[in-house]
C-alpha cells in the first residue's frame, strides 16, 4: 500500500476526509484484502485513542503502520483481538448536496463475512456497493446482503433489509433476489426491494421489468414494470398503487408525489434534508402531484412557493412556512 493510503486510513478514522479523498479511499477499500488491513488499523487506533496524523503518515504501507500502532498500544500478535469500535462523534452535515455523496462513498462502512458458500456484507450506514458483475446496489443502514463467491456466473442475492438495485443486463445469467417470501427475477432494471421487519415488505420498480413470485404459494407471478409496486400483506403478494421510491431518496436524489398533501411533503423534506420545518394547519387541503430530481431543499420549496403562494422564512436550522389554504 502506498503512503497516501496510510494517511487516508487515519484521516478516515478522524472523520477528516475531503469529498475527493472519500472517493479515492472508498475505491481502495472495495478490495477485500485492503478492507481487512483497514480494519486492523481501526481496531488498534480505537484501543490507543491518541494517534496523530504524523505517526502513520511517512512512507509506510498499511501493514507497517499496523505494526507501529501495535507497538504503541503495547500489544503483540498473540494478544491482538477484536475490539468493538468506540462511538465517535461525526460532524453534522447541513448541506443536502453533501449528504448523498458522503453516504455513497461509504464502502468502508461495511462488515464482511466470507465462507466457501457465500459472501455476506452488512451496511453499517446507508451506502453504495458495486457487485462483482458491476451491478450497483444501494444498501440502507443495517441491511444484510449475501451472494455467491462466483457471482459473475451465479447472480443470486439473498437480502434482509432494504436496497435499491441497478442491474447490468445479461440475458443468459438472470439476476435474482431472495427476500424471504418474495423472489425477484430481473434481466436489467432498477428497482427497490424491502423486507424490513418494522414495515411492509415490497418490491417497487423504478424502470425496466421484474418478475415477482411467492416461493411458498403456487400462484401466478406478478410482472412489474416502471412505477409498479407489489406488497407482501398477510403472506400474500398484492399489486398496489403506493409509491415507495421516496424511501430511497438518499440514493436516487429524486422525489415523486401523486396527490400528496403539502404537510406530507414538508415532513419528507424535514427528514431527508435533516432540518426543521414548521408550518400551520392551513395546508391540510393542499395536494401536489409531480416530481423533483437532483434538486436541493431551497429549489424544491421555491417551486412550491410559486404554486401555492407560500411565505417562507429561512433561519439557521429552521424553516417556517405560512400561506393561504386550498379550500
What is the CATH classification number for the domain harbouring 315? 3.55.50.30
- Contact assessment for residue 161 and residue 139, using Cβ atoms and an 8 Å cutoff: yes
Helices (H), 246-326: 249-252, 262-272, 297-308
Give the pLDDT band (50/70/90) at residue 6.
low
Residue 291 clears pLDDT 50, i.e. is over it: yes
Give the pLDDT band (50/70/90) at residue 189.
confident
140/208 same-domain check: yes
Average pLDDT over residues 176-191: 88
208/66 same-domain check: no
Does residue 327 belong to any structural domain of this protein? no
Does residue 85 belong to any structural domain of this protein? no
136/265 same-domain check: no
DSSP at 90: -
- Contact assessment for residue 156 and residue 148, using Cβ atoms and an 8 Å cutoff: yes
d(Cα 280, Cα 278) in Å, to the nearest integer?
A: 7
Which of 31, 50, 79 is the last residue before a domain boundary? 79
- Contact assessment for residue 180 and residue 197, using Cβ atoms and an 8 Å cutoff: no
Does residue 311 belong to any structural domain of this protein? yes
Does residue 222 belong to any structural domain of this protein? yes
Q: Residue 263's closest CA among 279, 275, 244?
A: 279
User: Taking the mean position of all CA atoms in its chain, how far away is CA 217?
Assistant: 31
182/113 same-domain check: yes
223/119 same-domain check: yes
70/47 same-domain check: yes
175/104 same-domain check: yes
State how many domains the chain has. 3
Dump pLDDT digits (tens) for 78-103: 332 322 333 332 322 222 223 233 33
Does residue 210 belong to any structural domain of this protein? yes
Does residue 91 belong to any structural domain of this protein? no
- Contact assessment for residue 304 and residue 262, using Cβ atoms and an 8 Å cutoff: yes
Does residue 90 belong to any structural domain of this protein? no
Residue 70 belongs to domain spanning = 3-79
| pTM for this predicted structure | 0.61
Residue 66: predicted pLDDT:
40
147/163 same-domain check: yes
20/44 same-domain check: yes
d(Cα 229, Cα 202) in Å, to the nearest integer?
A: 7
Residue 47 clears pLDDT 60, i.e. is over it: no
205/277 same-domain check: no
239/257 same-domain check: no
156/182 same-domain check: yes
Residue 187: predicted pLDDT:
72
More confident residue, 266 or 149: 266
Which of 79, 107, 129 is the last residue before a domain boundary? 79
Does residue 169 belong to any structural domain of this protein? yes
User: What's the grid cell of residue 290?
Assistant: 409531480
Which of 221, 246, 271 is the last residue before a domain boundary? 246
Q: Which helix (H) or strand (E) holds 56?
A: helix 53-56
Amino acid at each position: 500500500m502506498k503512503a497516501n493510503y496510510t494517511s487516508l486510513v487515519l484521516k478516515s478514522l478522524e472523520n477528516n476526509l475531503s469529498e475527493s479523498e472519500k472517493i479515492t479511499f472508498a475505491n481502495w477499500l472495495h478490495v477485500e484484502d485492503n478492507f481487512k488491513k483497514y480494519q486492523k488499523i481501526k481496531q488498534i487506533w480505537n484501543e490507543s485513542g491518541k494517534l496523530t496524523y504524523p505517526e502513520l503518515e511517512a512512507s509506510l504501507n498499511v501493514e507497517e503502520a499496523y505494526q507501529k500502532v501495535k507497538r504503541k498500544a503495547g500489544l503483540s500478535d498473540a494478544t491482538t483481538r477484536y475490539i468493538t469500535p468506540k462511538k465517535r462523534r461525526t460532524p453534522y452535515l447541513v448541506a443536502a448536496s453533501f449528504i448523498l455523496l458522503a453516504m455513497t462513498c461509504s464502502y468502508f462502512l461495511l462488515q464482511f463475512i466470507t465462507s466457501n458458500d457465500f459472501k455476506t456484507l452488512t451496511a453499517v450506514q446507508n451506502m453504495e456497493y458495486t457487485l462483482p458483475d458491476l451491478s450497483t446496489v444501494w444498501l440502507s443502514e443495517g441491511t444484510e446482503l449475501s451472494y455467491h463467491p462466483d457471482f459473475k456466473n451465479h447472480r443470486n442475492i439473498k437480502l434482509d433489509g432494504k436496497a435499491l438495485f441497478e442491474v447490468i443486463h445479461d440475458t443468459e445469467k438472470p439476476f435474482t433476489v431472495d427476500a424471504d417470501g418474495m423472489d425477484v427475477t430481473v434481466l436489467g432494471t432498477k428497482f427497490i426491494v424491502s423486507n424490513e421487519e418494522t414495515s411492509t415488505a415490497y418490491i417497487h420498480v423504478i424502470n425496466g421489468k421484474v418478475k415477482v413470485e411467492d416461493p411458498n404459494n403456487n400462484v401466478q407471478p406478478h410482472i412489474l414494470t416502471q412505477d409498479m409496486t407489489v406488497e407482501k400483506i398477510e403472506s400474500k403478494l398484492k399489486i398496489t398503487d403506493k409509491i415507495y421510491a421516496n424511501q430511497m431518496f438518499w440514493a436516487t436524489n429524486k422525489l415523486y408525489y401523486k396527490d400528496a398533501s403539502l404537510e406530507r411533503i414538508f415532513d419528507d423534506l424535514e427528514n431527508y434534508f435533516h432540518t426543521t420545518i414548521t408550518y400551520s394547519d392551513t395546508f391540510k387541503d393542499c395536494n401536489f402531484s409531480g416530481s423533483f430530481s437532483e434538486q436541493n431543499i431551497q429549489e424544491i420549496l421555491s417551486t412550491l412557493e410559486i404554486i401555492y403562494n407560500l411565505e417562507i422564512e429561512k433561519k439557521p436550522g429552521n424553516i417556517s412556512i405560512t400561506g393561504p389554504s386550498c379550500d
